[in-house]
Amino acid sequence: MKNPTTALPAERLLHIYRTMVRLRAFDEKLIELGKRREPIIHHPTLGQEAPAVAACAALNRDDVIMPYHRGWAWAIGKGMEPGRVLAELLGKTTGYCRGQAGPHLADWELGVLGRSGIQGAHLQIAAGVGCALRLESKRRVCLAFFGEGPASTGAFHEGVSLAALWQVPVVYICESNSYQFAVPAREVMRVESVAELAQSYKIPGATIDGNDAVEIFTTVRQAVNRARGGFGPSIIDCRTYRWHDSYYQPENMATDRRPPEEVAEWRKKCPILRLKTYLMNADLVTEDDAERIETDAQAEIASAVQFAYDSPYPTREQLVEDIYAG
């Protein structure tokens, strides 16, 4: 990681670090709850916390995001509260969608436009969202997150093609973790990086270290500023790695076929430890500061769990509300 520069706002970097620590505490708690057989659908983000958190930090509050299924980095990164996220996952009325959306939660006030039930389908929708944003006078931007799997689908190419043609303010952010579920990406993709596909649509493409939060923030900020200025979309490929299996399941049902030594090697590249080292070298945090941040995160997540457990389930009448627009 490069030496600190004055071009990077210290408070923003500290925010990214705190958010990544909170996210990991939340992720680990969800895995713990899964082991207790709580009915939670969860795709752990452990090991790849940096892309979504650092990318969201490059946005304004009124900018929007279109997330995908991998964890809750985008949710917490955009400002969602862990307690209300967990309440939604447990089907409680205090969740962001009153317990009726589950993992497909959204929050219009925060600019979280919700998850599609089909992998990559939102990449087409993002082009339409970008078109709507372009027609406004607010100069807002949309970030569309995805894994490398959808880059092989028609939805990706149709969406990017339209976004490039219309020059809409969308930044496509791929969190490449080398696998499409259990299949190595190299076995199903001709290109080495999704960013190479940007050449086909004559838009910028960048391949960056997805475990380097500083590089992610800097690169996404440049792409966001470009889009905000009316110069159209970009594709950013963040090369990272998930420490856990594709989704949580009991150990005796695990489908993780990745080489153990590969997982162990990537664990040494922890994005949180990397950012912590950067901040300490920049004299922005001390070891004591880092310990307090960790302690505060654990306390917050404990309170979030209690909040979600104490929240009520919807009544029979509430279950049929909000189905149709009035």
Residue spans of the domains in the chain: they are 10-315
Give the number of C-alpha atoms closer than 13 A to the C-alpha of residue 27, restricted to the C-beta side: 25
Tell me the pLDDT band of 249, cut-offs 50, 70 and 90. low
Domain 10-315, CATH class in plain words = alpha beta
* 143 close to 55: Cβ distance less than 8 angstroms: yes
Tell me the per-residue pLDDT of 251-260, one tens digit each, with 9 for 90 and over: 545 567 788 8
Q: What is the percentage of the chain residues whose pLDDT exceeds 70? A: 94
Tell me the per-residue pLDDT of 102-156, one tens digit each, with 9 for 90 and over: 888 899 999 999 888 788 889 999 999 999 999 997 899 999 999 988 888 899 9
Cβ burial 142-153 (10 Å sphere, 16+ → b, else e): bbbbbbbbbbbb
Length reported for the chain: 326
What is the gyration radius of the CA atoms in the chain, in angstroms?
Answer: 19
